[in-house]
Amino acid sequence: MQLTVAGTSVKVHPSVALNLLVGSGILSWLSGRRRPERSFFAKLGIGTASMMLLMAADVGHAIAHAFSARRAGAPMDAVEFSANMPRTVYTNNEVLPKAHRGRASGGPIYNGLCLLVGLAARALTKRSSAARELADWWSIGNVCLLWQPDTGAVGRRRFAAQVAPRRAHRG
């Protein structure tokens, strides 16, 4: 499936369906482990909804990068969703560090705001409720995406600057 979002081509590979099925199964099982008294359908519903929230955190992160990249004047060429993780595609990845920071900011801003919503929902829900469990997964998904290392142009330059002096001393 292919569509366009914020002027960026978005391609969704069929393997994403496998992630949704396997992830929903695992999260349904975990829901049952946390609350064994729930019915099979309640566990399945919570697992599936939790997986959708985790995917929304991941997909939203990548799409937010597309918006911030366009705003920074260094637009993204495509986003590809597959069984692994979303991949952002840039034909020209040699941009100034300021432009890279601008386009890199969208994902963390999105996940930071979503984390706040998840924490607020968590605070407003009963401890053993399905809504609390969904708020927990939403919060977990968003906090995990906040701490990703910079793997773009700036991150590679920093890594090269740290590794190059060490290699020079090896002779």
In the chain, domain spans: 2-91+99-155
* Predicted local distance difference test score (pLDDT) of residue 171: 46
Residue 166 scores a pLDDT above 80:
no
Give the pLDDT mean for 91-111.
86
Residue 160 scores a pLDDT above 80:
no
* Predicted local distance difference test score (pLDDT) of residue 6: 75
DSSP the chain: -EEEETTEEEEE-THHHHHHHHHHHHHHHHHHHH-TTS-HHHHHHHHHHHHHHHHHHHHHHHHHHHHHHHHTT----EEEE-SS--EEE-S-----HHHHHHHHSHHHHHHHHHHHHHHHHHHHS-TTSHHHHHHHHHHHHHHHHHT----SHHHHHHHHHHHHHHHHHH-
pLDDT tens per residue, range 110-130:
999 999 999 999 999 999 899
**pLDDT-derived band of residue 73, with 50, 70 and 90 as boundaries?**
confident
Residue 83 scores a pLDDT above 90:
no
* Predicted local distance difference test score (pLDDT) of residue 116: 97
Q: Which residue has the higher pLDDT, 151 or 54?
A: 54
